[in-house]
Structure 1
Amino acid sequence: MSQRKADGMELTSDALVNSLLALGAAALLATLWLWPRLARQRPLPVIGRIGLMTVTQVSVLAVMALSVNNSFGFYTSWDDLLNPGGAKLALTSNENHHGGAPASDGLIQPSNEGGMEGVTDLPKGPPEEVGKIESVQVSGKETGLSDQMFVYLPPEYFDPKLAMVRFPVLLAISGFPGTSLNLMKDLPVPQTSWELRKAGKMAPAIIVMARPTVAPPRNTECVDVPGGARTESWFAKDVPDALRATYRVSRSASSWGVLGFSTGGSCAMRLAMRYPEVFASGVGMHGDFKVAEDQFTGGSLFGGDKGLADQSDLNWRLQHLPAPNLSLMVMNSRTEGGFPETLKFVELARRVSETNPQFKVESLYLDDGGHNFESWTRELPAALEWMSARLAWN
């Protein structure tokens, strides 16, 4: 797939880690070689010993910190690390009917962030043959939030015969504290989509890959935090508006779906249940059914307001509110700790669907597997194939 290359020394790049490893090794060798010469107690030898030890230890600590960051995705770029409260991008609209890089004055702007250059198994070829993945910065009018995402445009998007066609959209959300890169590097969403397309099991769709943590480091669980980040409005309002203003995407909810794993799975089910007028289908892979209260959320995201918490509790919604016009797929492993809660929700959802045919729920369970990328990768082909069958062309 055609893609934009990022700079070699991006925060998440292997080149930076390798450079620091080389620096640390060089500092260690220099220490071993120079130590006898610096053994005297004069000021300059003492300063030299301190300097060599400092360089060695800082290099080792930096490599460890980068490795942890690259694994968990706390920060995706230097700007994300050094300037988290930086100026937002220009909030003007742009309609781009021809594909390619979005215009620089739109809600979606080109970005060199994300670490896409480290993904080596994307199909190679021109956009009209294998599609294209763009790294973009998305800005929201409603919330003022801004974040990096990847947008996969299928080959058909570049077909002149389809120049006036609007495409269905799948929003894929990673787990916490992951990044959009997890949806290519660890869970191969566009790669699997491409294989399903070649096998005739998936129709063309635009895939948007995002992380749930728009306001790090707190896990906001894709909800609007009173007095804080409005992550739910970001995904339900700002992101669809920005995509419609930039790409040829359908405006009908029947053509929009949301999928996620772990925290992203919780987000996907909650967004679909709360906003069926935006997302008419959703897939939750190993997600929860109510908003967590733990060290990552900093306790109650709703400030202890039970009414707000209930609105985001999927079991409560099924018991107290009208059933939504929605197709929902719930995935999990029979050996995962949260599996009993999954069974409880699916049983309740099926009882509701018996008297509310507009609400459809299905489930798919692995016989074994944990809360990890190996399990989610096994589930991904079925999840994408199921979603594709429900994304309407209109």
Structure 2
Amino acid sequence: MQPVTFLEALRYAQQRKILLPDEFYSLDLKTRQMATTVSFLSSLEQIETVIKAANKAIADGGTFKDFQKLIKESDIILPKHYLDNVFRTNIQSAYGHGRWQQQQRNKAKRPYLMYSAINDSRVRPSHLALYRIVLPIDHPFWLTHYPPLGYRCRCTVIALTEKQALKYGITPEDQLPEVAEALDWSSHPLQFGELESLVDKKISVSSLDKEYLLEQKQVIQAEWTASKKLTSLFAPMDDKTRDLFNTIADTVIPLNPQIRPSAIRTFLDYAQGNDSALTTYLNASTASLADDVLKRWLTTDMAAIQAVASNTASTVVGGATIQQVAAYQVGQTVQLSAPLLMAETAGDIVIQIENAKGLGIDLEKLNAGQGVLIPLGLSFEVVSIETIKGKLIYTLKALVS
């Protein structure tokens, strides 16, 4: 069973008119963090073999011993308890996905779900806090709290009729526990002792350079810090912005399914003029490894959007403010310290950029309006400054290496 993609989840929510929380639009960060951590534990090829073996065991109805045998035949050496984690987590994820599909097909008769945790000494307190929460099957709560919610999670969800739901009691919105940040699955693995101790153990017994391995561990921790920072830099989303996000996602993701939701969020803030926090951060000096990671992400995200919606016009024209061009002089080389949206305006100050083909993002290609978004960091030569028909026109030539 294949996992639900971001676009599929988004379209499902649109069809059901579900108002998604802002966190939904940054789900890709968790995937990125998990991928980094797993690839650090062993090579990407090994992990791919492990996951394929787990999927084969699921498809064939095999046992953990069958799974271990497949791994052994692949000459991959990983601790038994780590393989057990991988095996059981993939089994639970597959069953959880199948259970969700069945519940969706039968929701006309059973329109409510109830969270069920195993109340014993091994249950996580955060999972126990969700015990017997009853909500409609289309409630956005289930997008982030449908088990498994972590390694070796044993929780499940039970479908209920309306009569059964009323008997248990439908959980009021103001009584939903705020435990998302405490859940293993919605946070980075290095926040929890089991995986971090495994990483430390692998470092201690490895024949590779210990200093190098410790640096790699620091990279993982830096990515976790960077992901938290990125979320805080985004402007709050209103209904108009969410609708525009959905429109752009429907356009851009089919063109490149690898584009992350955070790339669209970054583009939206730039295009709507809500980029002050992002721009200030990018122009500030890099003070930590996390800063370096986040700045690289932001640059990569914008490049990914531009790759599918690149400007094709050789000359683009847009309005400007006197603050943007006050210091410009003919022959001067200038560099953008903030994104520049080139769009028609009734103002008296105009910027005209020549040699612009391939630079910037064409908003129309993304169904995001009119104009071209020129990213920060590009350099231009001021070719001329002249007044034509009452308008002050600054002509810049893009300097492309």
Q: TM-score range by the shorter chain?
A: under 0.3
Greater share of helix:
2
Between 1 and 2, higher relative CO (CA 8 Å, sep ≥ 6) is seen in 1
| Greater Rg over alpha carbons, structure | 2
TM score, norm. by length of structure 2? 0.24
